[in-house]
Each structure stands twice: as C-alpha cells, then as structure tokens.
Amino acid sequence: MMEWRPKGYLFDTKNLVRALFDEDTDEGKLLVSAAAGNVEIFSKLQSWNGVLWLIMNTLVKDGKPVYNGEELKELKNSLPIVWR
C-alpha cells in the first residue's frame, strides 16, 4: 500500500533566503505550510552554507556576528526542511 506524502519543493539558496527573511514571499508561505505538514521542502547543504554566510556577514553587532554556532545549528534543526 502506498503511503501518502505531501507535495515537495526543492529550494536553492535564493529560495531559502526569501523564505527565511520575508514571510510574504511565495517561499515564505511554503515554509509556513511545510511547518504545518502540508508540503515538504528539500534543499542541499550547500544552500544552507550560503544562508550561513549571509547571516554571519550581515547580522552583526559591533563587528561581531549576532548568532553563535550553536544558535545557528538550532535554527537549522528547527526548520521544516529536509537537507540533502
């Protein structure tokens, strides 16, 4: 018997940035939908590295990143994204 799976979407780095930083984009709406279990989002680990670079280089206070490695790890693990 076939198990039901929600529709899946593959996000590249640009899609991830839009989803994480603007909930009003299509990507942001899909991220919310994925959190509710209505769709699945897939992304490559290289795309996460691009998001990390953006966060570490733009979200700074007094020249230092706002988030540490453990907080970024928690963020990644909390996202409703299947990393490949």
Identity of the residue numbered 37 = G
Which residue in this structure is represented by tokens 């603007």?
A: 22
- The DSSP bridge partners found for residue 38 are none
Quote the pTM value.
0.86
**For the segment 17-76, what is each residue's pLDDT rounded down to a tens digit?**
999 999 999 999 999 999 999 999 999 999 999 999 999 999 999 999 999 999 999 999
Which residue in this structure is represented by tokens 């670079």?
A: 53
DSSP string, 52-77: HHHHHHHSEETTEESS-HHHHHHHHH
Query: In the numeric block, which tokens belong to residue 51?
Result: 């998001």
Identity of the residue numbered 82 = V
Element (H, E) at 10: strand 7-11
